[in-house]
A = this chain, B = another copy of it.
Amino acid sequence: MHTAVATAKVWIASEWQDSDAEGVFEPENPATGEKLGREFPVSRWSDCDRALTAALEAARELETTPAEKIAAFLEAYATELEADADAIVQAAHEETALPASPRLKDVELPRTTDQLRQAAAAARQGTWRRPIIDHGKNLRSCYAPIGPVVVFGPNNFPFAFNGVSGGDFAAAIAAGNPVIAKAHPLHAYTSQRMAEAAARALRSTGLPPATVQMIYKLNHENGARLVSDPRVGAAGFTGSKGAGLKLKEAADAAGKPIYLEMSSLNPVIFLPEGMKENAQQWARELADSCTLGSGQFCTRPNLAMAIAGAATETFMQELTSAIASREPHALLSSSTRDQLDESIQALQHAGATLLTGGTKVPGKGYRYASTLLQVSGRDFIAAAHELQREAFGNEVMAIIAADEEELLRVLDHLEGQLTGTVYSSLSGADDTMYNRLEPVLRRKVGRLLNDKMPTGVAVSPAMNHGGPYPATGHPGFTAVGIPTSIARFTALQSYDNVRPERLPAILRDQG
């Protein structure tokens, strides 16, 4: 007997309403493989169409809404999330198999509410508007909201990058743009629960209710149509390169800005003199970092690089045993596991050697053995594109270069990355090599690190969670770090000889 389950409602034009659905999906618990007893709609275009019309109206209302009110909403939303934290964490834990504590409850949710509050402060301060007044020419400029923003959240952060609560959301709202969130289907109920908190905050602070809207799932064609619709101001996307590039193509063709955070291997380079001192410790740090959260972070290290030698052999032995000993946890979904497996097969096919792992783990939950691959610098260079295929999950590939020159050539073949890291001797004995490698690496990465793993992404004004293509679509923008991330969702506007009383307040003469 099948118990009838009500399909969840989409949140459009201020109302939780029935979706014009072309289908439904039922989320499961990836730790058990069991259905969670909930049903969510796959929206047809008409859902998007209604959301876009409502968003455009909200955008117009927000243009004259005081920044203080927008800030108040962001803060009220953070408070609402905290008030419902237990239920939200439980929902996310069931849907993602990520640990309820510390990961979801003590790290990701506080990070998310902190981000909303930082966005509130930025909205209030208004530094993102960067007003310029040229009295001599009676010409003034500032940045203004870009219009309705569509945010596609990823599978791996149910809170901090969620379309209805994460970094893109916070940045878009802070600049006075309404958001149409496309929740990730892998944490649909979590998203619904968060959206309900957003709805309460909208009501209590009196913002236009269609400032936030949410749908759960779309087919590819409607996704492409959504980011290229004339009513849209811009889009933000975090996810796979395949899905991101399809959206990019559609948005680009329509002249709509789209900010993508797609894929990154986050190379970590271990220099030889330091390797002699720290081979075992570095191996353990790397193993910890690339298996943390089953490696399901945008900035977990997927590539390690070192120069051949005795110390590097010690490092590789320790790394192999450390990774082999890591108990694999459930991945986010069966398809996450299948794609990881496919990528690991493809990397071997392209020339990498399997040192440990490389198999699905039988039994409950979608688990994969933590995996280490190895390839020589020469072989990497020979198939550099194929060997830079992303394997999203608990996997790392070591590139062992014959010498410094080969390591430099490996870096020359590196595609754009979010991060790049160099570990080196504290004695200064690696500094000559560092100075040769650094400029090459620097140009390829958004964030350059020394002596620490790249996995954490601090919410700081100095953060760059961005980088050259294909890590993102444009190296001038960051997805994390307020107020810099707000710039993505703004348009530059000049006022030339506009009469004083008609100027926006921020551009009027003082006093």
Distance between Cα atoms of A132 and B482 in the complex (Å) = 12
Is A451 an interface residue, CB under 8 A from the partner?
yes
Distance between Cα atoms of A105 and B141 in the complex (Å) = 30
Over the window 138-162 of chain A, the binary record of Cβ atoms lying under 8 Å from chain B Cβ atoms (1 yes, 0 no) is: 0111011011000000000000000
Q: A141-B463, A469-B255, A492-B484 are in contact. Are A449 and B497 (CB under 8 A)?
A: yes
Over the window 222-256 of chain A, the binary record of Cβ atoms lying under 8 Å from chain B Cβ atoms (1 yes, 0 no) is: 00000000000000000000000000110011111
Of B133, B143, B438, the residue contacting A476 (CB under 8 A) is: B143
Residues of B within 8 A of A494 (CB): 446-448, 462-464, 478
Residues of B within 8 A of A60 (CB): 439
Structural contact, A132 and B252, CB atoms closer than 8 A = no
Which size class do A's interface residues fall under? 35 or more
In chain A, positions 58-83 with a C-beta closer than 8 Å to chain B are 60, 63
Residues of B within 8 A of A257 (CB): 474-476
Of B137, B253, B458, the residue contacting A458 (CB under 8 A) is: B137
In chain A, positions 451-510 with a C-beta closer than 8 Å to chain B are 451-452, 454, 458, 460-464, 466, 468-470, 473-478, 481, 484, 487-488, 490-499, 502
Distance between Cα atoms of A462 and B130 in the complex (Å) = 10
Is A25 an interface residue, CB under 8 A from the partner?
no
Nearest Cβ on chain B to A111's Cβ, whole angstroms: 13
Structural contact, A475 and B146, CB atoms closer than 8 A = yes
Structural contact, A137 and B462, CB atoms closer than 8 A = yes
Nearest Cβ on chain B to A319's Cβ, whole angstroms: 22
Residues of B within 8 A of A470 (CB): 255
Structural contact, B132 and A434, CB atoms closer than 8 A = no
Q: A461-B134, A478-B492, A487-B476 are in contact. Are A498 and B450 (CB under 8 A)?
A: yes
Of B132, B449, B466, B502, the residue contacting A461 (CB under 8 A) is: B132
Distance between Cα atoms of A496 and B132 in the complex (Å) = 31
Over the window 244-286 of chain A, the binary record of Cβ atoms lying under 8 Å from chain B Cβ atoms (1 yes, 0 no) is: 0000110011111100000000000000000000000000000
Residues of B within 8 A of A474 (CB): 257
Is A442 an interface residue, CB under 8 A from the partner?
yes
Which B residue's beta carbon lies closest to that of A248?
B252
Distance between Cα atoms of A439 and B147 in the complex (Å) = 12
Total identical chains: 2
Distance between Cα atoms of A133 and B434 in the complex (Å) = 23
Is A44 an interface residue, CB under 8 A from the partner?
no
Structural contact, B475 and A491, CB atoms closer than 8 A = yes
Which B residue's beta carbon lies closest to that of A254?
B469
Q: A60-B439, A469-B256, A476-B487 are in contact. Are A133 and B462 (CB under 8 A)?
A: yes
Distance between Cα atoms of A122 and B143 in the complex (Å) = 20
Q: A137-B458, A462-B133 are in contact. Are A475 and B447 (CB under 8 A)?
A: no
Residues of B within 8 A of A458 (CB): 134, 137, 139
Structural contact, B450 and A499, CB atoms closer than 8 A = yes
Is A443 an interface residue, CB under 8 A from the partner?
yes
Distance between Cα atoms of A474 and B63 in the complex (Å) = 20
Nearest Cβ on chain B to A321's Cβ, whole angstroms: 27
Of B468, B497, B498, the residue contacting A491 (CB under 8 A) is: B468
Q: A146-B475, A434-B502, A449-B498 are in contact. Are A460 and B493 (CB under 8 A)?
A: no
Distance between Cα atoms of A332 and B247 in the complex (Å) = 40
Nearest Cβ on chain B to A388's Cβ, whole angstroms: 14
Structural contact, A497 and B451, CB atoms closer than 8 A = yes
Which B residue's beta carbon lies closest to that of A130?
B484
Which B residue's beta carbon lies closest to that of A454?
B496
Which B residue's beta carbon lies closest to that of A449?
B496
Among the interface residues A137, A141, A255, which one has the most CB atoms of the partner chain B within 10 A?
A: A255
Structural contact, A496 and B452, CB atoms closer than 8 A = yes
Q: A460-B137, A462-B133 are in contact. Are A448 and B63 (CB under 8 A)?
A: no
Distance between Cα atoms of A487 and B498 in the complex (Å) = 26
Structural contact, B452 and A497, CB atoms closer than 8 A = yes
7 contacting pairs across A/B (C-beta < 8 A): A134-B460, A140-B462, A249-B253, A257-B476, A450-B497, A451-B497, A478-B492
14 further A-B contacts with Cβ under 8 Å, apart from A60-B439, A139-B460, are: A132-B461, A141-B461, A141-B484, A144-B442, A249-B253, A255-B468, A255-B469, A434-B502, A446-B494, A447-B495, A449-B497, A463-B494, A466-B492, A476-B491
